[in-house]
A and B are shown apart, each in its own frame.
Chain A
């Protein structure tokens, strides 16, 4: 296959990267792991005249910062998330979600920032990040800002990032949630996009659900919260019937399409099933 021609830059710091993004405008794209953008270029979906490699920008640490939360550098790879003891110790559900993405070779180079900014509706990390109330730091030529993960996405492949902005880190704040979980349903056990992805985070005390966040992937133009299902759960005692009903409600809060992988009808029912199963797992396993 053929990769179209482009100019290549490898800036040494974020400021320089933002400057290049401003200088070239629409002609330039950032290159992180490459597992999305190189494929798009080979398929001729994208043909940027300039690629700005992030290889020298660092941003790949995963550390817990007291007072701030779990800070995940945007260039941390999916396997970095899988193998990080710091992350697995505090948010095992995020490590487990990262593990389900694509396959090993892609996980070794595909970055969190790249995955998020590519904004495919079926991406695996956004739902679990949203359920844990994560925020994203964006740095541009004019300064930096923090955006809630669930406000980052505006449509398939679209985010609120300005042309000159770079994602530098994802922060999961300290929280009261007692259990969380991400279930991905794909058409084979590896190397499959999510047909449906359900992430939940719950706060359960004395078998009563005090708080719940449910984020659905692959069933709408962006990841979406199942807010009605969340409201329904709050204040109620855990039971099989309760969780099943939450699943039914959540399935009414998605807008899936039919494509070559699955029909909208199937996806809707899978949301019902996996919302129930994800809640059950989050409650029973009792870890975030």
Chain B
């Protein structure tokens, strides 16, 4: 492959460019680099967390071309040329997104470890479905586990952030 280089021990590395939160980042990585590690280690964006690392807890959730995905199950090379949105890209500079504001207002987080993924999942939902029902909210975040809140305030916050019908 044209974008592959081999070092003296035969280890292959690949050039990859990923657009994260609106900026292109180009790095040279091994093939086994997962998107979650690319974000946390290569780009120092530690807002996306590692919890179960097997796609069950959702704390690594980012948006890939606008869709919520588990970054722990995606290869960085597979998102070459694509758009990733992390928790760091949800606010607009110092202006918080309404989802973030409502999370704060409704105390929709306690320890906060699931919160990055939870907010990204919620924002992805509202982008696609601006006025979801309660069931649709619960379905959208069913892949985000939270051990602290029991989801009660989270669901309230997302419904409050939604456009009123």
Contact = CB atoms under 8 A, between A and B. Distances in A.
Task: Check A-B contact in the complex, CB < 8 A.
Answer: yes
B45 interface: no
A10 interface: yes
Contact of B32 (A3, A39, A43, A102): A3
Contacts of A1: 53-54
Contacts of B53: 1, 42
B98 to A, nearest CB: 20
Interface residues of B, number: 31
A105 B70 contact: yes
A104 B73 contact: no
Interface residues of A, number: 31
B68 interface: yes
Contact of B143 (A9, A33, A43, A190): A190
Given A5-B30, A105-B69, A105-B70, A189 B75 contact: no
Interface string B31-68: 11010000000000000000001111010010010011
Q: Is the interface of A mostly helix, strand, loop or mixed?
A: loop
A152 B113 CA distance: 42
B121 interface: yes
Given A8-B31, A38-B75, A105 B139 contact: no
Which of A4, A8, A31: most chain B CB closer than 10 A? Answer: A8
Contacts of B58: 103, 105
Interface in B109-165: 121, 139-143
Interface in B1-42: 1, 11-12, 14, 30-32, 34
Interface of A: 1, 3-10, 31, 33-35, 38-39, 42-43, 51, 53, 55, 79, 102-106, 108-109, 189-191
13 contacts: A3-B34, A5-B30, A6-B32, A8-B77, A10-B1, A10-B77, A53-B75, A102-B143, A103-B58, A105-B55, A108-B67, A109-B67, A109-B70
